[in-house]
Amino acid sequence: MIGFARWLRGNVRFEICGGSPQWCLNRLAAEGIAFWDVVRQDSLTFGITVYAKDADRVLRLAERSMCTAMRRNENGLFYKYRGLKKRIPLLAAVILSVVLSVVLPRFIRFYSVEGNERVPSEKIIRAAERAGVRLGLYGPDIDPQSVKDRVLAQIPELSWLTVTQNGACAVIRVRERAPQLPDADRRIPSDLLATRDGLVTELSVLEGSAAVRPGEIVQHGQVLIGGKIDLEHAVRFSAALGEVYARTWRDLYLKTPSERTVRTDKTDTHTVVSLQLGKKRIKISSESGIIPPECVKMTVIKRLTLPNGNTLPIALVLERAETYETESAAVPEEESQKLLTASAQRFALRGAIAGEILKENASFSRSDGLDTLHTVMELREMIAGHRQRIYIEGEATNDGTGSQH
């Protein structure tokens, strides 16, 4: 450690020659000049090392002591890089690099999210930005408790959060809430009701008593599996559980225009190049930054990424807009029918808890600029979806009083 400190300060190796070099060394010590590595080469010569700042004083004191001081070696930071004095731009670049390496890591330039599985990282970062953790923020100014309170208020799916600074990166560590239990509490007596009209085909009861049989037609809201179980000499209540499959039907009408607008010849190309710094965008190209509304627009964003994978908030944005002439063209009937059929199937299955389409009877027609599809679908789906609580005689209500239902 002492050797490194001496290297930083710089040192010079001298040979002191004279009739009495010891007298010269005594004069140096009396003047408070530190020297080390004293080596006696012969009776008239000594070798010593002094700090670079004392080199000129050593020369003067040696002359006064009737001795000669000769420089033999120079070592240290100053002597190693003294050539930079003649290269001012390079010296300025070195100093600037040192300053930036110390200052820049104290400001936030990257984000990192850890501990999330279901909540997207982008959502957490946006909430943290609204809470004050923004690009360019001085790291020590981050208040983790304040950020935690504000982010948790915006994202209820999180149960805990903290923000730490790792160099220029703000590390957001989160803990997600455990998935909530289903709305139906298995401890509360309840019935399973039908979600729609249908013809019961399969019935599987895991808890409770069956209120219908296969082959029966049920209506929306009818009890399928009851939570009340009659045991002859006693009555037991539970949360009904099971599956009931039924044949159901959908009667759908779908319409779409029989003509569409298509592009023909390209008429113009509009390109805008801009530099994005954080949230600020600076236009570089000479063309107007206003993109025509009726055009085909393509945007290419090239972000500046470091070798370790961190992305800087600097990007080159290329927006290219192409304008075409348009005309109306008739949609082929086969293509239109396929589009409407696919839409009808998605709509029918979207409302089903679990099921499949068994039969489909569709008719297609075109008139007055519209394509119409009338389809009747037969489905097999699970209809036991709604749950209705059973109120028991003498059960306590929320206000703490006993009530009979």
CATH code, 105-176: 3.10.20.310
Instruction: Calculate mean pLDDT across residues 21-25.
Output: 88
SS3 track for the chain: CHHHHHHHHCEEEEEEEECCHHHHHHHHHHCCCCEEEEEEEECCEEEEEEEHHHHHHHHHHHHHCCEEEEEEEEECHHHHCHHHHHCHHHHHHHHHHHHHHHHHHHECCEEEEECCCCCCHHHHHHHHHHCCCCCCCEHHHCCHHHHHHHHHHHCCCEEEEEEEEECCEEEEEEEECCCCCCCCCCCCCEEEEECCCEEEEEEEEEECEECCCCCCEECCCCEEEECEEECCCCEEECECEEEEEEEEEEEEEEEEECEEEEEEEEEEEEEEEEEEECCEEEECCCCCCCCCCCCEEEEEEEEEECCCCCEEEEEEEEEEEEEEEEEEEECCHHHHHHHHHHHHHHHHHHCCCCEEEEEEEEEEEEECCEEEEEEEEEEEEECEEEEEECCCCCCECCCCCECCC
Q: What is the model's pLDDT at position 398?
A: 41
* Cβ-contact 124, 171 below 8 angstroms: no
pTM for this predicted structure: 0.47
312-355 pLDDT tens trace: 778 888 888 888 888 888 889 999 999 999 999 998 888 777 88
244-265 pLDDT tens trace: 999 999 999 999 999 988 888 8
**What count of residues does the chain have?**
405
Residue 378 pLDDT grade (very low, low, confident, very high; cuts 50, 70, 90): very high
Q: What is the model's pLDDT at position 303?
A: 81
292-306 pLDDT tens trace: 666 788 888 888 877
Average pLDDT, the chain: 83
Q: What is the model's pLDDT at position 106?
A: 83
pLDDT at 78 over 60: yes
Q: Return residue ranges of the chain for CATH 3.30.70.260.
A: 2-80
* Nearest partner of 57 among 22, 31, 21, 18, judged by Cα: 31
Q: What is the model's pLDDT at position 84?
A: 65
Dihedral sign from CA coordinates of 29, 35, 39, 43: negative
113-139 pLDDT tens trace: 888 888 998 899 889 888 888 888 888
Q: Return residue ranges of the chain for CATH 3.10.20.310.
A: 105-176
30-72 pLDDT tens trace: 888 888 888 888 888 999 999 988 888 989 888 888 898 898 8
Q: What is the model's pLDDT at position 14?
A: 92
CA-CA distance, 326 to 70, in Å (whole number)?
91
Q: Using alpha carbons only, how large is the chain's radius of gyration in Å?
A: 42
Instruction: Calculate mean pLDDT across residues 144-162.
Output: 90
Q: What is the model's pLDDT at position 268?
A: 80
pLDDT at 10 over 90: no
Distance of CA 100 to the CA centre of its chain: 27
Q: 99-113, 274-288, 388-402 — which is least confidently predicted?
A: 388-402
201-233 pLDDT tens trace: 999 998 888 999 999 999 999 999 988 888 877
The share of the chain scoring above pLDDT 90, in percent, equals 21
Residue 101 pLDDT grade (very low, low, confident, very high; cuts 50, 70, 90): confident
CATH architecture of structural domain 2-80: 2-Layer Sandwich (3.30)
Q: What is the model's pLDDT at position 222?
A: 92
CA-CA distance, 205 to 276, in Å (whole number)?
61
